[in-house]
Amino acid sequence: MLQAVGVTSVRGAEGRPAVDDISFDCRPGEITALLGERGAGKTTLVRLVAGLDAGRGMTWFRGTPLHRVADPAREVGLVLGGTPGHPARTAGGHLRMLSAAAGVPAARADELLDEVGLGALRDERLGLLSRGMDRRLALAAALLGDPHTLILDEPCRDLSLRDAAWLLGRLRVHADAGGTVLCTSRDPKEAARFADHVVTLDGGRVVADQDAESFARTRLRPRVSVRTPHAARLSDAVRREARAARRSLEVVTESSSLLSVYGSSCPEIGETAFRHGVLVHRLTEEVGAAPAEPGGMTGGPGGTTGGPSGLVRPAGPGRGLVAAARRPPAEAVAVAREEASSGDPADALQAADGAPVMSPARPRSPRRALRYELRRMLGVRTAPLIAAAVVVSSLALCVLLARGGGAPRPAALVAWPGFLPLPPAAFGAGLIGALSFGEEFRFPALAAVRGVSPRRPGLLLAKLAVTAAAAVVLALLAVVADAQVLRLVNGADLGPLRANWADLGVRWLGLCIGCAWAGLLAAAVFRVTAAGVAAVLAVPVLIAPLVEFALLGPAVRSIAGLPGRLRSAAGSRLPEAADPWIRAALELLAQPVGAAMVLSLSALICAYLSIALRSRTTW
């Protein structure tokens, strides 16, 4: 059960909140529809209920606030439109990546692909999926953790009739299994057809909270839809005859060629058109939303009276209206039930006791974030392409430096000419780091897996580890390739470098890892990849010169005896063998680039943690 009490959004630019003090309940086994026009506050309310936006009020899921749920992915599944994934990622790869974030086996992703009818398209890229397929994949992502509650924002928007019928049938299956479904809609007729409970919003407030039967009786009425090229003539004729017969009806002009007539029938309208010589192209009876006019509706004797916010209450009981409005396509529901029951038995319609069948609670593992990050990075070809570009550009620069003969041997080995702020490997590592978090905000796929925030420390540690490994691989690839080029081009002897390989290697790896982490943290703080790239370039171009300027001048005391003084201050707990390592670290920090890198990383980590700790969701 979902309970929202006093949910209020922050005040907008107009000085009032988009959602103001909204309370409602969503009961298990039912589909609850949030109905309202554009700007009524439906999407804002959904995001507040799901904990994606900050606001006031409380929301309980089966009696527990979402931020206290141990595994939110098992409690809530979200569908906020299409699939927010990288367009180059495959459907199967996208779902397996999210399964790692949700802590479920990868086999669950394959089962869901078959269940939603995308089994044959598991290798299709997201950018090539149709809108209906994309919405099915989004629903599969929401179902990864077997959630009790499904929250969907206008799930049938822009879908074909077949896809919409299938999706509504699948939601009915979930509700029949004892789950809770909350979705938004703009169409009153659609809400009456598929929902058991309708909450109507207007201007960010609740104006009606009704079951489906009451909603259909008060908001929907039978109407006659007439399409004619002479809509104005027919409208006047229908009104004149109704006044003459003292009958109550209402004519609404939908467009220049379409009329909706409430309170009449097809034979009556057809006879009126025949008597006045009006050509009619289409004449059908429908069940539609009652028109709402400012100040309420008006009518003749026995007509309609205006309700709150224009809700119309018809004079008659509207017998049979609910059955006509709420009846979903039987064939679509049957297909959805058959597809749901043909998969995992845990997705069957209903357990013996009427509760949804849920798998046992899974222990949370820190490896969940690591598996997610590995699948995210390796699921597209961006990282391999960056690695190939790094190796090619590093080889080209190495050949130029080797043929010139004026560059020092270490600079030629890492392909770092003086006119470049960074060598290709370090810049490539920084770009991979920036993309690691930049893609999270550009393609917010984690929103589908509730409880996983792209700024939480758990995900930060996983990304730091994976980007550090990628930086080490890039650094080693570049050095190995450049060493072979130096031998082939001018037969250079690298023997002198081997004597100091440990110090040079630590500096080289430290530069690449530091660039990767600087790009990663800056992209996380500023939510964009370009900020990460700018932070990587700012270290040698801007921060290092400032640090060098600050370090100019004679030092008050030499650092020659500092390792020994540190050991004595630590109470001789540090062995003498640690002196070379302490000296190497101090020498690295004394260099402008090293000091600038440490300062940048320290500031970015503090900024990242200050932002991440504001969120209540955890990994």
Q: How far apart are the C-alpha atoms of 473 and 465, rounded to whole Å?
A: 12
Is residue 239 a contact partner of residue 299, using CB atoms and an 8 Å limit? no
- Report CA 521 to chain centroid distance, whole Å: 20
The 10s digit of each residue's pLDDT in 102-154 is: 888 999 999 999 999 999 999 999 999 999 999 999 999 999 989 999 999 99
Buried b or exposed e, range 465-487, using 16+ CB within 10 angstroms: ebbbebbbbbbebbbebbbebbe
Count of alpha carbons within 13 angstroms of residue 63, beta-carbon side? 0
Whether 526 and 390 share a structural domain: yes
Whether 510 and 535 share a structural domain: yes
The 10s digit of each residue's pLDDT in 186-234 is: 988 889 889 999 999 998 899 989 998 888 877 777 888 999 999 999 9
Angle (CA) 441-446-448 rounded to 5° is 125
Is residue 369 a contact partner of residue 449, using CB atoms and an 8 Å limit? no
DSSP 338: H
**Domain for residue 325, yes or no?**
no
**Residue 446 burial (10 A CB sphere; 0-12, 13-18, 19+):** buried
Report helix, strand or coil for 132. helix
Q: How far apart are the C-alpha atoms of 461 and 465, rounded to whole Å?
A: 6
Instruction: Select from 100, 103, 148, 138 the least CA-distant residue to 118.
Output: 138
Whether 267 and 189 share a structural domain: no
Whether 177 and 225 share a structural domain: no
* Residue 572: other Cβ atoms inside 10 A: 9
Whether 225 and 194 share a structural domain: no
Residues in the chain predicted with pLDDT less than 50, given as ranges, are 292-363, 554-560, 562, 566, 616-619
Q: What is the pLDDT of residue 293?
A: 40
Q: How far apart are the C-alpha atoms of 13 and 538, rounded to whole Å?
A: 35
Is residue 442 a contact partner of residue 529, using CB atoms and an 8 Å limit? yes
Q: What is the pLDDT of residue 564?
A: 53
Whether 306 and 393 share a structural domain: no
Whether 226 and 97 share a structural domain: no
Q: What is the pLDDT of residue 483?
A: 86
What's the CATH code of the domain at 104? 3.40.50.300
Q: How far apart are the C-alpha atoms of 258 and 615, rounded to whole Å?
A: 51
Query: What is the identity of the amino acid at 225?
Result: S
Is residue 369 a contact partner of residue 459, using CB atoms and an 8 Å limit? yes
Instruction: Select from 252, 247, 216, 248 the least CA-distant residue to 235.
Output: 252
**Domain for residue 82, yes or no?**
yes
Is residue 582 a contact partner of residue 576, using CB atoms and an 8 Å limit? no
Q: What separation in angstroms does the CA of 274 have from each of 150, 246, 279, 280?
A: 51, 21, 8, 9
Q: What is the pLDDT of residue 546?
A: 82
Sequence-distant (6+) residues with CB within 8 A of 608 are 455, 460, 521, 524, 525
**Domain for residue 111, yes or no?**
yes
The 10s digit of each residue's pLDDT in 320-368 is: 333 444 444 444 444 444 444 443 333 332 333 333 333 333 445 568 8
Instruction: Select from 22, 2, 288, 339 the least CA-distant residue to 152.
Output: 2
The 10s digit of each residue's pLDDT in 564-594 is: 554 555 555 555 555 555 555 555 555 677 7
Whether 292 and 266 share a structural domain: yes
- How does DSSP assign 55-116, residue by residue? EEEEEEETTEEGGG-S-GGGTEEEE-SS--S-TTSBHHHHHHHHHHHHT--HHHHHHHHHHT
Whether 296 and 372 share a structural domain: no
Could you say which of 282, 316, 350 is where a domain stops? 316
* Residue 432: other Cβ atoms inside 10 A: 26
What's the CATH code of the domain at 276? 3.30.70
**Domain for residue 338, yes or no?**
no
CA torsion 156→161→167→169, rounded to 10°?
130
**Domain for residue 327, yes or no?**
no
**Domain for residue 349, yes or no?**
no
Q: How far apart are the C-alpha atoms of 541 and 420, rounded to whole Å?
A: 10
Whether 113 and 226 share a structural domain: no
What is the residue range of 235's domain?
A: 218-316
**Domain for residue 268, yes or no?**
yes
Domain count, the chain: 3
